[in-house]
């Protein structure tokens, strides 16, 4: 076998092996170097995987050469190759951003441990996406969650500890529901391999155990992806975590949870079972619409800008779930596009906020008065990210919104289309509140504030540039998302 | 190639303006030169289009099958001609105004002005609905810093109304209409005769058309007109070029373009889908005039007059007859020249005499005769009196209304002309014949700085010239309707 054939496992193992090394080396700089190397290598690997999958179909990789379904199989198709790219793109950008930002926000002694946790979290998220084995999903879910709790608790504000603890409780409840669901599936079918499960399950659709398993998984996954009303852990966790962690988590963790939901309900149980028998679409439609509307409204009234964006994230997750609830290829395309696009815009926005924290130590909306003149590049990045969030044309936000509305019209759901558009205006309102304060309010004092350092601005602007570039030239991302949507719906050619 | 230049010239000018920010003369020189070059480019495009060519330029392809594309066709050329010519005049005017008024941040002003013109060119030459939408939104963004130029609390509030209305209408109504159109027709291209015929259920056509008309908030059809009076906090050259010509005309231009190239006037006339919108436009025409009466502030009065006049263009489009479309397109041009003259005069009065209210103008005409004469000419053109260009567009609109069998609308047109005659005429009347109240005027009041006076003389003269020579615009419009 050539090295290329081992890409699926390398994707996960490289950060996993680098993580303990980070903990062992005492040097901050070396630890950062390892983290950056791990993130960049994941990006390279994931891009190669995506192009390989697009060119020649799914890749199956048997761990330790144990043939599936008995051994653990890593199975990469367009869907998870796409998710891997999403996660590793953000990871790479955040890794470069983290060096200065983390130094400023996390105690010196803890920095190597921070990077260890960061790499563990990354490998956990990549593992969830790469594996083709449901129990393996659970294992990686725990790896990523535990390291995420640790990362969040490193925030400067002491409230970070309580929010991390709250996340831990809620997250563990979610994980427990998931593992119970997986256990019930195993009890019924005797297999943990996803492909195997998807073949066996249609024969036992009527079994009550299967439906109960479905219910447990639904609750657990929705908790993990912070679908309203199971989102309560998210706003504080995002608001008090170190800036780099917020950017990383907001752009990746919930996205991977959405992926899990798609994988379990569409690939394993199958679209016919989810939509036809369980009525998942109707339930999700209701929850998604409530999430989008109520959370956008709540976001408008936040004074802490990080928390404002956190509520906006809950609303945006609603958009992804809304796309799923259309139960159509167009709807799923919107979901998968928004998975990536939302990662790009929220990544850019939280990074811009990190620059603000680096200079003025606060993200309270009043503290940001006059920043438009003092930190022009940072605030310009914020405006660009914000416009993408609103869905202004020529940004990625517009692309996903376009497909979402198209999906709604396809189903003939006019009110849904109108609601999506109205909530875009609400997004404009909460973004504009920040813009107005930054550009029109005079600064509170005369202390000179310098622009953020280049090491923070370059990764931020890299994401902003992607927001714009992929908004102008969206053909490729649309192509991948569409193919992934077909794969999930089982209508791939 | 020339299409690309039409966007590139103003965009490059913006860069050069920043480069020369420390040397005001060179900076304004760049603005003027760019405006002249742009007009030259548009003239060349006009030549090509008159010969039957339809140059096209694909900028990018964001979505499969939905490119970002520029295309020159007669209606767009008409709009671009008006906007680019008036950019030259306005730049000239701005030099006098901004210096005479000691405005701050003049570099930022000229930069965003140039960007705004670039976006206007994008709107004018948009080759499909998507491109039109993109440049429409960019235009809202690039004009925002101009509206809030003063940076005061009032400017901030006005900016909020401005962006709030323009963005919410365009996102909620217009975008929905565009996706709907794409969903129904499978394309967003502008085509002669429209793309929707037979693709949308007859009952849904009035709704879709309504989404477009109200979604294009820049057309200021009531009840979505509030942003326009709000935008008057901007410096007067902005109000003149953007909120009498470029931005508002981008709105009504978009309405006309959608009517002609997306719906097709035959399809609309056949379904009667636009009848209810005719009356919405007629209501706006009358109410706008009535509100204008109540405004003592000169710029506010002109703003409501614009609201009223814009709906003439919308009305012409909604008539869905050839004459209506001709009148509609002509009115884009004629109103532009008339209204910009009025705004130039208002700004000149503000700079020279520091007067902003109509009631303060008593006797001022004797100190500023050129300005007030120009105002008189502009008024005549807005009202539609010969010998000014405005009489032609009113004529064709009237013909269009009769063609459509809507005699009631002709009455509306007449009534509104009378109203506008009354509220606009008051100003030169007061200026020339009003008694100066209070202590005798300080002898210092003279005409505004020379560049500003020159600009308003040029536009007033153009109003007169267009009466005897409206042919370029008329010919373009007949190419649109295919007569």
Between A24-33, A81-90, B228-237, B319-328, the lowest mean confidence (pLDDT) is in B228-237
Residues ≥6 apart with Cβ < 8 Å to A14: A38, A41, A42, A45, A123
Q: How far apart are CA B25 and CA A45, in angstroms?
A: 56
- The predicted pLDDT at position A461 comes to 92
Q: How far apart are CA A267 and CA A426, in angstroms?
A: 35
Element spanning A61, H or E: strand A59-62
The tokens for B241 are: 């070029």
Round the average pLDDT of chain B to a whole number and report it: 86
Is residue A334 scored above 90 in pLDDT?
Answer: yes
Is residue A348 scored above 90 in pLDDT?
Answer: yes
Instruction: Determine contact: A410 vs chain B, CB below 8 A.
Output: yes
Peptide bond preceding A229: is omega within 30 degrees of 0, i.e. cis?
A: yes
pLDDT band for position A272 (cuts 50, 70, 90):
confident
Are A478 and B167 within 8 A, CB to CB? no
Residues of chain A neighbouring B148 (CB-CB closer than 8 A)? 440
Q: How many residues does chain B have?
A: 483
Is residue B198 scored above 90 in pLDDT?
Answer: no
- The predicted pLDDT at position B438 comes to 54
Q: How far apart are CA B230 and CA B281, in angstroms?
A: 21
Peptide bond preceding B223: is omega within 30 degrees of 0, i.e. cis?
A: yes
- The predicted pLDDT at position B440 comes to 54
- The predicted pLDDT at position B405 comes to 84
Nearest CA-CA partner of B249 in B393, B413, B411: B393
More confident: A70 or A128 = A128
Residues of chain A neighbouring B176 (CB-CB closer than 8 A)? 405, 417-418, 421
- The predicted pLDDT at position B136 comes to 92
- The predicted pLDDT at position B446 comes to 74
- The predicted pLDDT at position A1 comes to 58
Nearest CA-CA partner of A354 in A448, A457, A224, A431: A457
Angle, CA B394 vertex, CA B392 and CA B397 arms, to 5°? 110
To the nearest 5 percent, what fractions of chain A are helix, strand and coil? 80, 5, 15
Among chain B residues, the shortest Cα distance to A429 is held by B164
- The predicted pLDDT at position A23 comes to 85
Residues ≥6 apart with Cβ < 8 Å to A101: A242, A243, A244, A354, A357, A358, A456
Is residue A15 scored above 70 in pLDDT?
Answer: yes
Contact A277, A205 (CB under 8 A): yes
Among chain B residues, the shortest Cα distance to A468 is held by B62
Residues ≥6 apart with Cβ < 8 Å to B70: B3, B4, B6, B7, B56, B57, B59, B122, B125, B126, B127, B131
Residues of chain A neighbouring B154 (CB-CB closer than 8 A)? none
From the CA of B63, how many Å to the nearest CA of chain A?
Answer: 5
- The predicted pLDDT at position B439 comes to 55
- The predicted pLDDT at position A177 comes to 94
Among chain B residues, the shortest Cα distance to A419 is held by B172
Round the average pLDDT of chain A to a whole number and report it: 88
| Helical segments of B295-321, H only | 298-319
Q: What is the mean pLDDT of residues A174-194?
A: 91
pLDDT band for position B442 (cuts 50, 70, 90):
low
Is residue B270 scored above 60 in pLDDT?
Answer: yes
Q: How far apart are CA B162 and CA B146, in angstroms?
A: 11
Is residue B1 scored above 80 in pLDDT?
Answer: no
Instruction: Determine contact: A373 vs chain B, CB below 8 A.
Output: no
The tokens for B296 are: 């003592």
Is residue A87 scored above 80 in pLDDT?
Answer: yes
Q: Where are the beta strands (DSSP E) in A181-323?
A: none
Nearest CA-CA partner of A142 in A110, A168, A115: A168
- The predicted pLDDT at position A147 comes to 92
Contact A90, A248 (CB under 8 A): yes
The tokens for B23 are: 């040397």
Contact A75, A60 (CB under 8 A): yes
Residues of chain A neighbouring B175 (CB-CB closer than 8 A)? 405, 421
Element spanning B68, H or E: strand B66-71
Residues ≥6 apart with Cβ < 8 Å to B124: B76, B77, B79, B80, B83, B250, B253
Among chain A residues, the shortest Cα distance to B161 is held by A429
Are B130 and A405 within 8 A, CB to CB? no
CB pairs under 8 A between A and B: 69
The whole-model pTM stands at 0.89
B137: nearest CB among A393, A399, A440: A393
Contact B408, B275 (CB under 8 A): no
Q: What is the DSSP string of B196-264?
A: -TTTS-GGGHHHHHHHHHHH-GGG--TTS-THHHHGGGS-HHHHHHIIIIIHHHHHHHHHHHIIIIII-
Instruction: Determine contact: A474 vs chain B, CB below 8 A.
Output: yes
> What would the pLDDT profile of B45-101 be if each residue is shown by its tens digit?
888 888 888 888 888 888 888 888 888 888 899 999 888 888 888 888 888 777 777
A421: nearest CB among B68, B156, B175: B175
Work out the percent of chain A whose per-residue pLDDT is above 70. Answer: 99
Are B151 and A440 within 8 A, CB to CB? yes
Is residue B428 scored above 80 in pLDDT?
Answer: yes
> What would the pLDDT profile of A159-176 be if each residue is shown by its tens digit?
889 999 999 999 999 999
- The predicted pLDDT at position B476 comes to 83
Are A475 and B156 within 8 A, CB to CB? no
> What would the pLDDT profile of B159-192 be if each residue is shown by its tens digit?
888 888 998 899 889 999 999 999 888 888 888 8
pLDDT band for position A341 (cuts 50, 70, 90):
very high
Nearest CA-CA partner of A336 in A91, A127, A80: A80
Distant-in-sequence contacts of A62-66, Cβ < 8 A, 24+ apart: A63/A9
A256, A378, B25, B91 from B29: Cα distances, Å: 56, 33, 6, 9
Instruction: Determine contact: A435 vs chain B, CB below 8 A.
Output: no
State the virtual CA torsion across A382, A92, A49, A13 in degrees, nearest 10: -140
- The predicted pLDDT at position B443 comes to 58
Are B156 and A440 within 8 A, CB to CB? yes
Nearest CA-CA partner of A23 in A155, A114, A126: A114
For residue B47, how many other CB atoms are within 10 A of its CB?
12
From the CA of A410, how many Å to the nearest CA of chain B?
Answer: 8
CA B400 centroid distance within chain: 21
Contact A235, A308 (CB under 8 A): no
Is residue B30 scored above 80 in pLDDT?
Answer: yes
Q: What is the mean pLDDT of residues B476-480?
A: 83
Residues of chain B neighbouring A411 (CB-CB closer than 8 A)? none
Instruction: Determine contact: A425 vs chain B, CB below 8 A.
Output: yes
- The predicted pLDDT at position B363 comes to 79
Instruction: Determine contact: A476 vs chain B, CB below 8 A.
Output: no
From the CA of A251, how many Å to the nearest CA of chain B?
Answer: 23
Residues of chain B neighbouring A479 (CB-CB closer than 8 A)? 64
Nearest CA-CA partner of A242 in A148, A320, A333: A148
Q: Which sequence spans correspond to the domains of chain A? A: 279-493
- The predicted pLDDT at position A493 comes to 52
Q: What is the mean pLDDT of residues B183-208?
A: 85
pLDDT band for position B230 (cuts 50, 70, 90):
confident
Instruction: Determine contact: A391 vs chain B, CB below 8 A.
Output: yes
Work out the percent of chain B whose per-residue pLDDT is above 70. Answer: 98
- Token pair 């920040």 in the structure block, residue: A434
From the CA of A330, how many Å to the nearest CA of chain B?
Answer: 12
Judging by DSSP bridges, how do beta strands A73-76 and B56-63 pair with one another? unpaired
Instruction: Determine contact: A418 vs chain B, CB below 8 A.
Output: yes
- The predicted pLDDT at position B441 comes to 53
Residues of chain B neighbouring A474 (CB-CB closer than 8 A)? 62-63
> What would the pLDDT profile of A100-156 be if each residue is shown by its tens digit?
888 888 877 888 888 999 999 999 999 999 998 899 999 999 999 999 999 998 888
Q: What is the mean pLDDT of residues B103-116?
A: 82
């Amino acid at each position: 076998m050539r090295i290329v054939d081992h890409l699926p496992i390398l994707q996960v193992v490289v950060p996993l092996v680098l993580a303990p090394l980070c903990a062992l080396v005492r040097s901050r700089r070396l630890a950062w170097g390892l983290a950056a190397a791990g993130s960049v290598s994941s990006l390279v690997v994931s891009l190669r995987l995506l192009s390989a999958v697009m060119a020649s179909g799914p890749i199956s990789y048997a761990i330790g050469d144990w043939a599936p379904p008995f051994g653990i199989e890593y199975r990469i198709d367009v869907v998870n190759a796409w998710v891997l790219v999403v996660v590793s793109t953000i990871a790479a950008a955040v890794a470069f951003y983290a060096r200065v930002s983390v130094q400023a926000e996390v105690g010196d002694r803890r920095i190597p441990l921070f990077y260890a946790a960061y790499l563990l979290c990354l490998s956990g998220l990549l593992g969830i996406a790469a594996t083709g084995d449901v129990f393996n999903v659970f294992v990686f879910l725990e790896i990523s969650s535990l390291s995420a709790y640790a990362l969040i608790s490193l925030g400067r504000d002491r409230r970070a500890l309580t929010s991390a603890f709250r996340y831990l409780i809620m997250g563990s409840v979610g994980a427990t529901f998931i593992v119970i669901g997986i256990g019930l599936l195993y009890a019924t079918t005797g297999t943990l391999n996803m492909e195997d499960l998807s073949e066996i399950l249609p024969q036992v659709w009527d079994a009550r155990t299967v439906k109960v398993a479905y219910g447990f998984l639904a609750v657990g996954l929705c908790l993990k992806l912070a679908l309203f009303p199971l989102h309560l852990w998210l706003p504080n966790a995002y608001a008090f975590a170190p800036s780099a962690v917020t950017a990383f988590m907001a752009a990746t963790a919930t996205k991977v949870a959405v992926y899990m939901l798609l994988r379990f309900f569409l690939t394993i149980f199958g679209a016919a079972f989810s939509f036809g028998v369980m009525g998942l679409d109707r339930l999700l439609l209701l929850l998604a619409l409530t999430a989008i509307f109520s959370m956008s409204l709540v976001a408008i009234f936040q004074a802490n800008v990080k928390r404002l964006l956190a509520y906006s994230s809950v609303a945006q997750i609603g958009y992804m779930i809304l796309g799923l609830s259309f139960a159509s290829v167009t709807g799923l395309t919107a979901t998968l596009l928004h998975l990536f696009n939302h990662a790009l815009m929220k990544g850019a926005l939280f990074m811009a906020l990190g620059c603000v924290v680096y200079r003025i130590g606060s993200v309270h909306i009043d503290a940001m008065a006059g920043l438009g003149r003092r930190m022009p590049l940072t605030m310009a990045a914020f405006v660009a990210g914000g416009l993408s969030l609103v869905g202004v044309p020529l940004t990625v936000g517009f692309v996903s919104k376009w497909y979402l509305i198209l999906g709604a019209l396809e189903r003939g759901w006019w009110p849904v289309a109108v609601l999506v558009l109205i909530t875009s205006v609400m997004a404009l309102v909460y973004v504009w509140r920040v813009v107005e304060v930054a550009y029109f309010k005079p600064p509170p004092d005369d202390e000179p504030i310098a622009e953020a350092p280049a090491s923070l601005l370059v990764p931020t602007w890299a994401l902003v540039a992607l927001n714009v570039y992929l908004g102008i030239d969206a053909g490729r991302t649309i192509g991948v998302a569409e193919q992934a949507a077909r794969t999930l719906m089982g209508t791939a050619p | 190639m020339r299409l690309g230049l039409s966007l590139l010239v103003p965009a490059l000018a913006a860069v050069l303006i920043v480069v020369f920010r420390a040397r005001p003369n060179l900076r304004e020189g760049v603005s003027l030169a760019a405006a002249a070059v742009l007009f030259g480019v548009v003239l060349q495009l006009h030549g090509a289009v008159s010969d039957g060519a339809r140059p096209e330029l694909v900028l990018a392809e964001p979505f499969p099958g939905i490119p970002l594309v520029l295309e020159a066709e007669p209606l767009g050329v008409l709009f671009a001609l008006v906007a680019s010519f008036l950019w030259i005049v306005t730049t000239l005017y701005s030099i006098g105004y901004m210096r005479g008024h000691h405005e701050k941040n003049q570099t930022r002003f000229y930069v965003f002005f140039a960007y705004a013109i670039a976006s206007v060119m994008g709107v004018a030459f948009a080759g499909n609905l998507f491109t039109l939408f993109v440049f429409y939104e960019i235009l809202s963004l690039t004009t925002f810093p101009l509206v809030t130029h003063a940076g005061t609390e009032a400017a901030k509030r006005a900016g909020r109304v401005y962006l709030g209305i323009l963005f919410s209408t365009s996102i909620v109504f217009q975008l929905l209409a565009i996706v709907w159109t794409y969903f129904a027709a499978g394309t967003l291209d502008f085509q002669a005769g429209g793309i929707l015929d037979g693709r949308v259920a007859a009952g849904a056509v009035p709704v879709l058309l309504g989404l477009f008309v109200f979604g294009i908030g820049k057309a200021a059809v009531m009840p979505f007109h509030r942003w326009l009076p709000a935008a008057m906090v901007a410096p007067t050259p902005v109000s003149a070029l953007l909120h009498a010509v470029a931005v508002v005309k981008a709105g009504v231009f978009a309405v006309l373009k959608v009517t002609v190239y997306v719906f097709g006037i035959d399809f609309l006339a056949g379904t009667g889908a636009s009848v209810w919108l005719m009356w919405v436009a007629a209501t706006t025409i009358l109410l706008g005039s009535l509100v204008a009466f109540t405004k003592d502030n000169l710029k506010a009065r002109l703003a409501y007059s614009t609201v009223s006049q814009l709906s003439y263009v919308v009305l012409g489009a909604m008539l869905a007859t050839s004459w209506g479309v001709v009148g509609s397109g002509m009115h884009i041009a004629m109103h532009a020249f008339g209204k910009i003259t009025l705004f130039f005069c208002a700004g000149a009065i503000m700079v020279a005499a520091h007067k902003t209210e109509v009631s303060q103008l008593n006797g001022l005409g004797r100190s500023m005769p050129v300005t007030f004469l120009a105002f008189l000419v502009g008024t005549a053109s807005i009202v539609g009196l010969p010998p000014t260009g405005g009489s032609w567009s009113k004529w064709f609109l009237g013909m269009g209304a009769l063609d459509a069998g809507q005699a009631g609308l002709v009455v509306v047109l007449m009534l509104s002309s009378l109203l506008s005659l009354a509220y606009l005429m008051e100003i030169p009347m007061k200026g020339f014949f009003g008694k100066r109240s209070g202590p005798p005027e300080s002898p210092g009041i003279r005409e505004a700085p020379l560049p500003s006076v020159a600009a308003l003389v040029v536009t007033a003269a153009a109003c007169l010239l267009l009466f005897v020579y409206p042919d370029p615009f008329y010919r373009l419009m007949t190419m649109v309707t295919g007569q």
